[in-house]
Amino acid sequence: MTVRSSAKMRTFRAGLLGLAAFALVGCQNVFDGIDSNRGEVPLPTKLKAKMSAYGMKASSPIMIRIFKDENVLEVWKQKDTGRYALLSEYEICKWSGKFGPKFKEGDKQAPEGFYTVAKHQLNPKSQYHLSFNMGFPNAYDRAHGRTGSHLMVHGACSSAGCYSMTDDRVEEIYALAREALRGGQKAFQIQAFPFRMTPENMHKHRDHKHAEFWNMLKEGYDHFEITRTPPKVDVCGKRYRFNTVGSGKFVPTQACPTMAMPESLAVAYTKRQEDFTKRFEALVAKSENREPRALAPMTPQEALPGINIIVPKPEVVEPPKQPEPTQTVTTAPATAQNAVAPVTATSNEATGTVAQ
């Protein structure tokens, strides 16, 4: 082999190594310098009319839910009531990996969990038409030592650990995100699930190695189903916590502080878990060819172990003040006994003065 051919071979090998390294880091945006106005594509007129009918504005906050099994990305948007409603569903063109979370750089696994996207995570000059970074790894992922980068929702219908859409679909999703962030939303939430957290799906996958992880994700799923607002997400004790207030700071790798939840939410959450448990037991009984077991009513303490319930103080209703009684003063007629005695003058003969 000549020196020249050896140099070519080294160059070829270096190129292969570069491509391999690129493949390890997910959906990286290589051509960020491309000048493009793709990020300013306006919202479709039909979609704006739908928003208006739902009591939404283009600038209203959004939230995204992703379901791998159903191959769907949902965009939810805040109504004028403060609650969110499903605005649009988009078919996912491709997602890579299997059901379950992402563990390490290069596993080509699309993430599952709760993530946030702020304005700086949007890329209007992406190699993949348009994209936004999901924010992997989040606090939960880092607490478990998980690694990865450039995990995105993007166009171009190709995936190496991302959720990929067709270009026309990602344009619409990107425009919804752009307008919400420009309208004042600091960051929007992405909830990524393996499947819809129904009793049927949870029963189907009950023996999966990630079942415990999915049961935890289901807590956040249920909170959104109850309130129709994105749940407050914290991480402590290396697990997600939803819609709780803590007596101290939530530290992902440390024990959780004392946590509490308002009674109204706790009661609604307990009712949902009770209904789920009954349905789940019926499915298990059917698969085991037996009658369902009778289940006792569930308490908030059972549904929310380790979480205190904030019971509102009863309102003290003060009775209305009674008007003070009006005193009537009656003047008695003058008589001989109660008449004012006349001034009696006595003569002082020694001084010549009159004493009264």
Phi/psi at 78 (nearest 5 deg)?
A: -75, 135
- Which of 273, 276, 279 has the alpha carbon at shortest distance from 292? 279
- 208 belongs to the catalytic site: no
Burial status of residue 162 (CB atoms within 10 A of its CB: 0-12, 13-18, 19 or more): buried
| Residue 303 identity | A
Distances in Å between the Cα of 171 and the Cα atoms of 46, 118, 133, 134 are 15, 17, 15, 16
> Per the residue annotation, which of 27, 129, 150, 154 is the catalytic one?
154
- Which of 116, 118, 133 has the alpha carbon at shortest distance from 191? 116
Q: Show the beta-strand stretches assigned E in 41-134.
A: 62-67, 72-78, 84-91, 94-95, 113-118, 122-123, 131-133
| Paired residues of 354 in beta bridges | 347
- 256 belongs to the catalytic site: no
Q: How far apart are CA 122 and CA 131, in angstroms?
A: 6
Burial status of residue 337 (CB atoms within 10 A of its CB: 0-12, 13-18, 19 or more): exposed
Q: How far apart are CA 37 and CA 53, in angstroms?
A: 29
Q: How far apart are CA 83 and CA 168, in angstroms?
A: 28
Q: How far apart are CA 305 and CA 245, in angstroms?
A: 15
> Per the residue annotation, which of 27, 93, 162, 236 is the catalytic one?
162
DSSP string for 170-208: HHHHHHHHHHHHHTT-SEEEEEEESS---HHHHHHTTTS
Helix, strand, or coil (residue 115) = strand
Which residues belong to the active site?
A: 154, 162
